[in-house]
Amino acid sequence: MSLANKLAEERRARLAAERLLEQKQAELHAANRKLGKHARALSHEIHETRAEVQTVRDENLRVKSDLSEAHQKVEIAERRLWHSIATIQDGFAFFDADSRMIAANHAWLAVFDGLEAVQPGISYVEILQFITEEGIVNIGAHAPHVWREHMLDRWQQATPEPEVIRLWNGHYIKLIDQRGPDGDVVSLALNITDTIRYETELKEARRRAETANRAKSTFLANMSHEIRTPMNGVVGMADLLMDSDLTEEQRLYASTIKHSGEALLVIINDVLDYSKIEAEKLVLHTAPFDLERCIHELVTLMQANARDKGLDLLVDYDLFLPTRFIGDPGRIRQILTNLLGNTIKFTETGHVLIRVTGVPPAADEAAMINVSIEDTGIGIPPDKVDHIFGEFNQVDDDRNRKFEGTGLGLAISQKLIRMMQGDIWVDSTPGEGSSFGISLTLPVAAPEDVADPVLPKSGGHALIVEPQAASRDILERQLAALGLTVVTCASAAEALTLARPEIDIVLCDHNMAQMDGLELAEALREAGHTMPIVLLSQNTGYAEQDPARAHVQAVLQKPAHRRALIDTLSELLPSAQTMPQAARTMRVLAAEDNKTNRLVFSKMLTGLDIDLQFAENGREAVEVFHSFRPDVIFMDISMPEMDGKEATRTIRAAEDPGAHVPIVAMTAHAMQGDEADILAAGLDHYLTKPLRKTDIITQIIAACPPDARAPQPETTTAQAG
C-alpha cells in the first residue's frame, strides 16, 4: 500500500475517531442534562415531603390537645350527671345485659341499709335473694321464692310493667325498669309513699262523705215519712171540711190550710228529689205507659187552675205517633207537671199548648219524641234562659216574689231528662211567651189488650164549633186524619147557618160567648136537626148538671183524649152499641191502721157507687179478703201485727190461679227503692200519702170488673180533688 493510501486511510480513521468522539461527547452531555433535571426534581420532592411531614406533625399535636380537652369535658359531664343522679331523691341504677349492676345512686342503695354486697357487679338475682333474706320488702303472704320468681319474671320482660312494693319501714316504692336495645336496663325506684298516703286519705274522706250523704238521704226519707203521714190528715181533712157547710170565712180558712199543706208537700218533694239525684240514689223505673193518657191526666188535674185564670189548655198529640212507650212514667209525669205548672203560673191570659210530635219509628226501633209546652205568658229575658235551669234559680227575685216556688223544678227536670239521655230547652220572648221543649228517645211498647180504635171509613161530615183558633185547628186536623170531611166555625151563630142535613156529627165547645155549646145544641134541636152532638167541656161536671145536657149525645173532657174522641165518634157515627147491663156493686177493701186516715179515705169516696170495707191491720185484711172477695184492695204498708207487704204475699199465695185482685199500696215512704220493694211483694200500684181523691178514684175505676156497675156515673173523668 502506498504511503498516500496509508495517509488517506489514517486520515479517514482519524476523522471517524473524531466523529465518534463528538458523538460520545454529545451523548454524555445529554445524559448529564437528564441527570441534572432528575436531581432537581428529586430535591423538589424532598422539599415537599418535608413540608408534609411538618403539617402532619402539627395536626397530630392539635388532635392530641383536642382529645384531652374532650376527655376533660366528658369527665365533667359524667361527674355532673352522676352528681345529679346521686342527689335525686329517687333510686336510679343501671344493669348490663347480663343483669349485673353497673352503677346505682345513693337512694337506690339506701334501701339495702348499708349491705356491702349490694354494689356494682352484683346480679339482679342476688339482689332479690338479699331482699327476701334480709326482709327488706314486705312480701305479704307470698313465699320468698314465689315472690322472687315473680320479680325475676317481670325483670326479664322486654318492657317490664311498673310494680309497687312496700318496704319494711312502710314506704311504698314504684319500680320502673326500662330495657335498652342492647339489653342494658335502667332501673328507677320512685318513693310514692306520700301519694299513696294522700290517696288513702282521699278515699277515707270520700267514704266519710258518702256515709254522711247516706245518712242525709235516710234522714230525708224518714223526715218525708214523718211529715207525710200527718199531712195526709191535714190536707185530707181540710179537703173534706171544704165539702161541708161552711161560712165564707171558714171556707177561706179551710182552703188556706189545704193549699198551704199542698205547697209544703211540693217543696218537700222537690228537696227530696233533688238530694236523691245529687246522691245518685235516684233510679229510673221503666215500664210500658201511655204518654197521651199521661198528658191528658195532667191536663185534667191542672184544668181547675187554668180555668181560674181564664187560660185554655190545649193538647195536640200527633195522630200518627204511637202513644204507648217504655219509659219511667212517674218521672216523665213529674217533668211535664213542672213545665205545665210553670206555664200556668207565669201566664195571665191566652193559652197553654202541649204539642207532641215525633218520628214514627221503624220496626223494633225507639221513637224520637218531642213534647213542647208553649205559653203566652210573661216570657224569660234572653240572659236568664240558661240561669233558670240552675238550682234555686229564678228569673229575678223582685219579679218572682209574687210567684211561689223553690226554683228547683227546672233543675230537677233537666237532671231527670239527662238521666233519660234526653234534652230540654227553652225558646222565649219576654212579654210574648215561652216554649219549653223536651226530646226523648223511647222504645215503643206493645199496644194494650184493647183493640185499636178504628173509625168506619164512611167518610162522614163533621162540623166543629170552636172559638179558640189553636184548639179548632187541632181538632180539625184530628178529624180530617180520621177520614172525615170537616167544616169549622168560631161561633154558635155561624154554626146555625152551617148546619145542614148532610152533617153527620157536630162537635162544639161548651164555653162560648153569646150562645154557649149547650144553648147551641138546644137551638139545633129546635131547628129540627137530629145529628149527634158532642160537647167538649173544660168542666164536664158542670155540663152534666145542665138541663140542656139532654140535647147532646156525649160530653168529653176538653182537651179531648184522642182515644175518647175516637171511641165517641165510632160509637155515634155508626149504629150505637148497647152497653151490657152491670148487675152488682163494686167491692173495695182498704187496710189502714190509722183511724184518721180511715175516716179521710171513706169521706173521699162518699158518693161513689161502691161497697167499701176496712181492715185495721194486715191479718184482718187477709181475713176480709176471703170473706168479702174485693175487686180492689188499698193496702197501707206499715201496719201492726202484719204489714202490708206480708198481707199481700199471703193474699197472692191464696188467690185462685188466674184470679188477680189489684192491690194498691198506700205509703208515706217516698224514697227510691221502697217502691221496687213494695212492688216485689206482689202489689200492683203505688200511691204516696197524702192520698189524692183523684188517684184513688182512678184506681177504683181501673179495677172495675165487667160484671160490676161503674163506680161513678157516666163520665169516668174524675175531677181534681
Taking the complex as a whole, the smallest distance from the CB of residue 236 to ligand ADP amounts, in Å, to 25
**3-state SS string over 628-645?**
HCCCEEEEECCCCCCCHH
> Measured from the CB atom, is 111 or 340 closer to ligand ADP?
340
Taking the complex as a whole, the smallest distance from the CB of residue 406 to ligand ADP amounts, in Å, to 5
> Measured from the CB atom, is 316 or 546 closer to ligand ADP?
316
Taking the complex as a whole, the smallest distance from the CB of residue 411 to ligand ADP amounts, in Å, to 6
Distances in Å between the Cα of 185 and the Cα atoms of 20, 65, 107, 111, 118 are 92, 35, 17, 19, 17
Q: Which cell numbers hold the place of 623?
A: 181475713
Q: In 3D, which of 641, 635, 691, 693 has the Cα closest to residue 665?
A: 635
> Measured from the CB atom, is 147 or 346 closer to ligand ADP?
346
Distances in Å between the Cα of 571 and the Cα atoms of 456, 458, 499, 558, 705 are 10, 13, 21, 18, 21
Q: Which residues bind ligand ADP (CB under 6 A)?
A: 338, 342-343, 346, 375, 377-380, 388, 394-395, 400, 405-411, 434
CB-CB contact of 294 with 315 (8 Å): no
Q: Return the residue matching grid coordinates 331523691.
A: 89
> Measured from the CB atom, is 172 or 389 closer to ligand ADP?
389
Q: How far apart are CA 92 and CA 189, in angstroms?
A: 6
Taking the complex as a whole, the smallest distance from the CB of residue 190 to ligand ADP amounts, in Å, to 50
Question: Which residue's beta carbon is nearest to the bound ligand ADP?
Answer: 405
Taking the complex as a whole, the smallest distance from the CB of residue 217 to ligand ADP amounts, in Å, to 22
Q: Which runs of consecutive H residues, i.e. helices, occur in 166-247?
A: 193-243
Taking the complex as a whole, the smallest distance from the CB of residue 353 to ligand ADP amounts, in Å, to 12
> Measured from the CB atom, is 405 or 711 closer to ligand ADP?
405
> Measured from the CB atom, is 378 or 536 closer to ligand ADP?
378
Q: How far apart are CA 541 and CA 538, in angstroms?
A: 9
> Measured from the CB atom, is 275 or 553 closer to ligand ADP?
275
> Measured from the CB atom, is 405 or 517 closer to ligand ADP?
405
Taking the complex as a whole, the smallest distance from the CB of residue 371 to ligand ADP amounts, in Å, to 14
> Measured from the CB atom, is 334 or 617 closer to ligand ADP?
334
Taking the complex as a whole, the smallest distance from the CB of residue 665 to ligand ADP amounts, in Å, to 29
Per the rule left: phi > 0, alpha: psi between -120 and 50, beta: everything else, 514 is: left
Q: Which runs of consecutive H residues, i.e. helices, occur in 402-467?
A: 409-419
Q: How far apart are CA 163 and CA 186, in angstroms?
A: 15
What single letter denotes the amino acid at residue 400?
N
Taking the complex as a whole, the smallest distance from the CB of residue 275 to ligand ADP amounts, in Å, to 16
Name the phi and psi angles at 633, rounded to 5: -125, 130
Taking the complex as a whole, the smallest distance from the CB of residue 418 to ligand ADP amounts, in Å, to 15
> Measured from the CB atom, is 388 or 508 closer to ligand ADP?
388
Q: How far apart are CA 80 and CA 15, in angstroms?
A: 97
> Measured from the CB atom, is 274 or 325 closer to ligand ADP?
274
Which run of H or of E encompasses 498?
A: helix 492-498
Taking the complex as a whole, the smallest distance from the CB of residue 405 to ligand ADP amounts, in Å, to 2
Distances in Å between the Cα of 208 and the Cα atoms of 197, 201, 282, 355, 429 are 16, 10, 20, 47, 47
CB-CB contact of 398 with 378 (8 Å): no
Contacts of 542 (CB under 8 A, 6+ apart): none
> Measured from the CB atom, is 242 or 271 closer to ligand ADP?
271
Distances in Å between the Cα of 335 and the Cα atoms of 221, 342, 393, 491 are 21, 11, 17, 36
Taking the complex as a whole, the smallest distance from the CB of residue 272 to ligand ADP amounts, in Å, to 15
- DSSP three-state, residue 665: strand
Max Cα-Cα span within the chain: 204
Q: In 3D, which of 659, 593, 605, 599 has the Cα closest to residue 629?
A: 659
Taking the complex as a whole, the smallest distance from the CB of residue 223 to ligand ADP amounts, in Å, to 20
Taking the complex as a whole, the smallest distance from the CB of residue 370 to ligand ADP amounts, in Å, to 17
> Measured from the CB atom, is 375 or 675 closer to ligand ADP?
375
Q: Where are the beta strands (DSSP E) in 105-181?
A: 163-166, 172-179
Taking the complex as a whole, the smallest distance from the CB of residue 385 to ligand ADP amounts, in Å, to 9
- DSSP three-state, residue 80: helix
Taking the complex as a whole, the smallest distance from the CB of residue 438 to ligand ADP amounts, in Å, to 13
Question: Using only C-alpha atoms, what is the Rg of the chain?
Answer: 51
Q: How far apart are CA 263 and CA 682, in angstroms?
A: 32
> Measured from the CB atom, is 322 or 377 closer to ligand ADP?
377
CB-CB contact of 379 with 342 (8 Å): no
Q: In 3D, which of 171, 172, 177, 140 has the Cα closest to residue 155?
A: 177
CB-CB contact of 566 with 455 (8 Å): yes
Q: How many residues does the chain have?
A: 721
> Measured from the CB atom, is 274 or 289 closer to ligand ADP?
274
> Measured from the CB atom, is 266 or 492 closer to ligand ADP?
266
CB-CB contact of 299 with 559 (8 Å): yes
Q: How far apart are CA 507 and CA 510, in angstroms?
A: 10
